[in-house]
Amino acid sequence: MPSVFIRILLSIFAVSWLLAGCASTSTPETGGPENIFNLAKSAYADEDYLEAQRLFDVVKLQYPASQFADDAQYYLAEINFKREEYVLAAFAYTQLRRSYPNSEYYREALFKTALSYYQLSPTYDRDQEYTRRAIQSFADYQMLYAGDSLANESTAKIRELRNKLAQREFSTAELYLKLESPKSAVIYFDAVINDYSDTDFYEQAIAGKAEALSQLRNTEEARRTVDLYVKNFPQGKFRGRMDELAAQLPRR
């Protein structure tokens, strides 16, 4: 019996000694925000994104008022972007801007938000919600930081994305023409003409509308559409067809 009691005491002593040893050992999570942040940066540089993400989260959650909190949020967004997790990246960059409006990363976070949505933008025949979000985000960047190099890049990206939206409307109009529904085609040609005059599909949309109106025997509107084409594209690639169409329309 005494030997059993002694073994219990020894076990308790051993456990107490181990717990005391563990308590005295410093861990990354108890090393203060600067130390944890530096460890996270090192893991990030080594492309150990899982560990970097874990440590940046510790900084952000345990030390939200520290000078490293916005840095941690920025690198969390960057990790998402590098992993091509663009939905998460857009959310993380937006969180940075909302939570830390005075952060040195605000400008880049705004552009990267737009770039995340740009990466999510699908082909023209799919739903274009992310395309529209990208356009709006690039436009927000242009408004706040007009004139810098990223604003110029935003202009190019907006044009590319607007071309995609125009192509969606134009392809629908062409489909209706093939289905012998020129009245519906005119609606979608008008969408391009009225909303996307700055795109590559503007000229084609005017010519297509003229063709559709001719099929509908809407002479006056067809003639006005031909005139609009000639005015805007006197040397356009559809000029010959427009001249033919005008000659075929009944005289006023």
pLDDT in tens, 88-115: 999 999 999 999 999 999 999 999 999 9
Overall average pLDDT of the 3-16 stretch: 40
pLDDT at 7: 44
pLDDT band at 30 (very low <50, low <70, confident <90, very high): low
As a whole number of angstroms, the distance between CA 134 and CA 128 comes to 10
pLDDT at 250: 82
* Cβ atoms of 57 and 76 closer than 8 Å: yes
pLDDT at 235: 96
Whether residue 9 is predicted with pLDDT greater than 70 in this model: the reply is no
* Cβ atoms of 167 and 195 closer than 8 Å: no
pLDDT band at 11 (very low <50, low <70, confident <90, very high): very low
Whether residue 2 is predicted with pLDDT greater than 50 in this model: the reply is no
pLDDT band at 43 (very low <50, low <70, confident <90, very high): very high
Overall average pLDDT of the 169-181 stretch: 97
150-163 burial: b if 16+ Cβ within 10 Å, else e: bbebbeebbebbbb
Tell me how many degrees the CA angle 134-135-136 measures, rounded to the nearest 5: 90
Helix 106-120 vs helix 86-99: crossing angle, to nearest 10? 160
219 exposed, middle or buried (CB, 10 Å; 0-12, 13-18, 19+)? middle
**Percentage of the residues of the chain whose pLDDT score is greater than 70:** 88
Whether residue 165 is predicted with pLDDT greater than 60 in this model: the reply is yes
pLDDT band at 6 (very low <50, low <70, confident <90, very high): very low
Instruction: Classify 87 as helix, strand or coil.
Output: helix
C-alpha 185, offset from chain centre: 30
pLDDT band at 215 (very low <50, low <70, confident <90, very high): very high
pLDDT at 140: 97
pTM for this model (two decimals) = 0.84
Q: Which long-range contacts (CB under 8 A, 24 or more apart) does 41-47 make?
A: 41/75, 44/75, 44/78, 44/79
pLDDT band at 251 (very low <50, low <70, confident <90, very high): confident
Least confident of 17-21, 41-45, 156-160: 17-21
pLDDT at 5: 40
pLDDT at 17: 37
pLDDT band at 242 (very low <50, low <70, confident <90, very high): very high
Whether residue 221 is predicted with pLDDT greater than 60 in this model: the reply is yes
pLDDT band at 12 (very low <50, low <70, confident <90, very high): very low
